[in-house]
Amino acid sequence: MSCLLWKTVTLLSLVWPVRGQSSGDLRLVGSFRQTGGSSGRLEVYYNRQWGTVCQDNFSQDDAVVACRQLGFSTYTQYGTVGRLDFSEASSFTPTWLDELRCRGTESRLGNCRANPIGVEDCTHSEDIALVCTTSTTASTASPNGDLRLIDRSGQTIGSSGRLEVYYNGQWGTVCDDLFGPNDAVVACRQLGFSTYTRYGIVRTLGFSQPSSSTRTWLDNLHCSGTESRLINCPANPIGVEDCTHFEDIALICTTTSASSVSIGIGVSVPVIFIIFVFVIIVLFCSIVRRRRLNSPPPRNLNSNTTSTATTTVTNTQNTAYSMNQRSSNSNQPPPPNVHGPQPAAAYPTGQYAAPSYHTSYPQQPPAPSYPQQPPATAKPPPALYFSGGEAPPPYPG
């Protein structure tokens, strides 16, 4: 599979829900964009996209059906996101449901009467928010060690809020000193949830501090994670602490599995794992591409074959030439050994002449001959005539 296909699949996995969703599923989006809690903006899944529910005609029956589908027994509050202090959805988010009219007996919100999905005349300021609960009444009397969560509205039956413990007839807070994931797991489990999605001091999670008269009961908690109640964990003696209410612990619990527990930045563990895999794939593809760019070009087998054939023919010709040269020189005597004296060769008398070891060079052509001039004929000296008419005497010799 090519790198481009791997990148496409990984990017789609980032947009695709972490767990499989089907049309009509619901979720609550909390203040920190967390899902899996018991309060938040109500959203419904349709056509591979999450959308909101409009407040038009939304009633108690609709809230009961929605909370029941989400796994809770009922609701404690419902209203627009602004009224319940939750954020509006982005402008790209559709509004799927409007004019809901449930009877209260339906198992899913999608089974209620409403406008056709996506047919609405709402803005996101009309998005519905819910506060669901797993109990029908709040406890007023508790034994020592019971826990509760105080949310923004002062309610004690949600899944998020300031953590408080009951002791000696009075509710008190839990200090953040040494408070860790194991303590959060034990507290949420004691409150009836499976695990937590986030924990921290009240200001960080957007919850209020208690009054100055409220005690801080637990400090320096260090649970192992196996305890059934928070008060059973190792800690300072109850009421022995050095904290202010700025250090009070707040929790966001959930009923979902621990595989989607947040690590404190609003992103679930599976999404972070997918992002990590995507980064590894991108780096791998970059390395492969760089190696391809730096690798030498492939050899041309045809050119090698031609070159080899040409070399073979040339070698064959050279060999043939050498053999012919050797055969033509076979009658020639071997060259002298210039490195030492040569023994005198013995030849039968009168049969062979001693071989000549000098190098023979081709003779120069003879100089052209020109016709000789005939010898000059001695001219007789001119006759000297004397006045007497005598002939001149002959010249000596």
Average pLDDT over the chain reads: 76
**Residue 234 pLDDT > 80, yes or no?**
yes
Q: With helix as H, strand as E and coil as C, how does 192-260 read? A: CCCEEEEEEECCCCCCCCCCCCCEEEECCCCCCCCCCCHHHCCCCCCCCCCCCHHHEEEEEEECCCHHH
∠ CA 250-252-253, rounded to 5°? 125
Residues 300-320 have pLDDT tens digits of 555 555 555 555 555 555 555
* Phi, psi dihedrals of residue 193, rounded to the nearest 5°: -105, 170
**In whole angstroms, what is the distance from residue 153 CA to residue 151 CA?**
6
The DSSP letter of residue 144 is T
What residues does 301 pair with on adjacent strands?
A: none
In order of start, what are the domains of the chain with their CATH numbers?
25-136 (3.10.250.10), 137-260 (3.10.250.10)
CA distances, 76 to each of 32, 66, 130 (Å): 20, 12, 8
pLDDT value at residue 362? 62
- d(Cα 189, Cα 233) in Å, to the nearest integer? 13
Instruction: For 24-60, give the DSSP string.
Output: T-EEEE-TTS--SSSEEEEEEEETTEEEEEB-TT--H
- Residue 73 predicted with pLDDT over 60: yes
Is the pLDDT at 226 greater than 70, yes or no?
yes
Percentage with pLDDT > 70 across the chain: 61
| Percent of the chain whose pLDDT exceeds 90 | 33
Mean pLDDT of 180-184: 96
Taking residues 284-294, what's their average pLDDT? 80
Tens of pLDDT, residue by residue over 315-364, are 555 555 555 555 555 555 666 555 555 555 555 555 555 555 555 556 66
Cβ atoms within 10 Å of 305's Cβ, excluding its own: 10
SS3 content of the chain, % helix, strand, coil (to 5): 25, 20, 55
Does 263 score more than 80 pLDDT? Answer: no
Answering whether pTM is above 0.95, one says: no
